[in-house]
Amino acid sequence: MAKSKNHTGHNQIYKNHRNGIKKERRPRKMSMRGMNCRFVRNQAFAKRGMKCTEEEKVERLAAQKEAQKRMEEKKVVERAERLK
């Protein structure tokens, strides 16, 4: 005689519920595994760079505005030379 029954799910649900079926916990922090390592490294430096006090933030903003003004002046001079 050949066997006819190959599998049964009998008692499996009971066994699973003995320990309780738990939801998978959501991670608090996203895993960086498998990401572009250059991006991960740069992101860490960027996060570290954003940590600063209000005074440092004001100084940094002033320096950025000054640099932007210098770039605009340089751009105007280059444009004038190019159009001559």
The model's pLDDT over 46-82, given as tens digits with 9 standing for 90+, comes to 999 889 899 999 999 999 999 999 999 999 999 999 9
Q: Is the pLDDT of residue 36 over 90?
A: yes
Q: Give the pLDDT band of residue 37 (cuts 50, 70, 90).
A: very high
- When pLDDT is averaged across residues 7-36 and rounded to a whole number, the result is 95
Q: What does the CA dihedral 48, 50, 54, 56 come to, rounded to 10 degrees?
A: 70
Mean per-residue pLDDT of the chain: 93
* Distances in whole angstroms, Cα of residue 41 to Cα of each of 29, 37, 48, 50, 51: 16, 6, 11, 15, 16
The per-residue pLDDT for 72 is 97
